[in-house]
Amino acid sequence: GESVGLHLPTLSVQEGDNSIINCAYSNSASDYFIWYKQESGKGPQFIIDIRSNMDKRQGQRVTVLLNKTVKHLSLQIAATQPGDSAVYFCAESTPLKTSYDKVIFGPGTSLSVIP
């Protein structure tokens, strides 16, 4: 069935290093992908998105890579800071025949930054 999953449920990174969070999806019809960050006690917050006609998109210190061949996307965080400690969710959006695009969230990866 449709699913969005993460390879690593937890990730510990030294401050200043780069972080890579991975995500696998199974629906080849998904055309839009989003990464969210959820800090403790808060709701998820949008970080970056990418459409299926792209393979890379860069933001401020973050880069999302999309590999449609293997149905995989990743979130790269450069020079990881303590404030990056959070749970990161990927989400895939699949257009349906109705006006609603089905969005499925992955289980999340907990990123811990070691000072």
Residues at the contact surface with other proteins, assessed by CB under 8 A: 32, 34, 41-46, 49, 89, 93, 98-101, 103, 105-108
Is the CB of 51 or the CB of 56 nearer to other proteins? Answer: 51
CB atoms within 10 A of CB 49: 16
Is the CB of 49 or the CB of 76 nearer to other proteins? Answer: 49
Q: Which residues lie below 8 Å from residue 31, measured CB to CB, with a gap of 6+?
A: 51, 52, 93, 94, 95
Alpha carbons 65 and 63: distance in angstroms, whole number: 7
Report in angstroms how near the CB of residue 16 gets to other proteins at its nearest: 28
Is the CB of 25 or the CB of 89 nearer to other proteins? Answer: 89
